[in-house]
Amino acid sequence: MRKNLYNVGAIFKGLSITFGFMFRHKPTIEYPSVRKQHAPRFHGLHELRRYADGKERCIGCELCSSACPANAITVIGAENAPGDRRSPGERHAARYEIDELRCIFCGLCEEACPTDAIVLTPHFEMADYRRGAFVYAKDRLLVPPEAGVGVAPDERPGGIPGDLGRVEELKSTMDIERGYAATWRGEALKTNRKGLAG
CA distance 177 to 169: 14
pLDDT at 10 (0 to 100): 82
Comparison of pLDDT for 43 and 6, the residue scoring more: 43
Confidence class for position 20, pLDDT limits 50, 70, 90: confident
Confidence class for position 157, pLDDT limits 50, 70, 90: low
Domain-located, residue 88:
yes
DSSP conformational letter for 27: -
Domain-located, residue 37:
no
CA distance 49 to 135: 18
CA distance 176 to 70: 29
At 44-58, the pLDDT tens digits run 999 999 999 899 999
Average confidence (pLDDT) over 123-143: 93
**What is the domain range of residue 156?**
46-191
For residue 149, the SS3 value is coil
For the CA atoms of 104, 63, 137, 69, what is the dihedral angle to 10 degrees? -20
pLDDT at 51 (0 to 100): 92
How far CA 51 is from CA of 57, 62, 116, 151, in Å, comes to 6, 19, 10, 6
DSSP conformational letter for 196: T
- pTM for this entry: 0.78
Domain-located, residue 24:
no
CATH number of the domain to which 106 belongs = 3.30.70.3270
Confidence class for position 198, pLDDT limits 50, 70, 90: very low
At 140-150, the pLDDT tens digits run 999 999 998 88
pLDDT at 195 (0 to 100): 55
Cα Rg of the chain, angstroms = 23
Domain-located, residue 197:
no
Domain-located, residue 35:
no
The number of domains in the chain is: 1
Comparison of pLDDT for 183 and 7, the residue scoring more: 183
pLDDT at 70 (0 to 100): 95
Q: How much is the mean pLDDT over the chain?
A: 86
Domain-located, residue 41:
no
Domain-located, residue 33:
no
Average confidence (pLDDT) over 94-100: 95
At 61-94, the pLDDT tens digits run 999 999 999 999 999 999 988 888 888 878 899 9
Residues facing residue 48 across a β-bridge? 118, 142
Contacts of 119 (CB under 8 A, 6+ apart): 46, 47, 49, 110, 167, 182, 183
Helices (H), ranges, the chain: 2-22, 63-67, 108-112, 138-141, 166-171, 176-179, 184-191
Question: Is the predicted pLDDT of residue 189 greater than 50, yes or no?
Answer: yes
Average confidence (pLDDT) over 153-163: 72
Domain-located, residue 123:
yes
Contacts of 154 (CB under 8 A, 6+ apart): 88
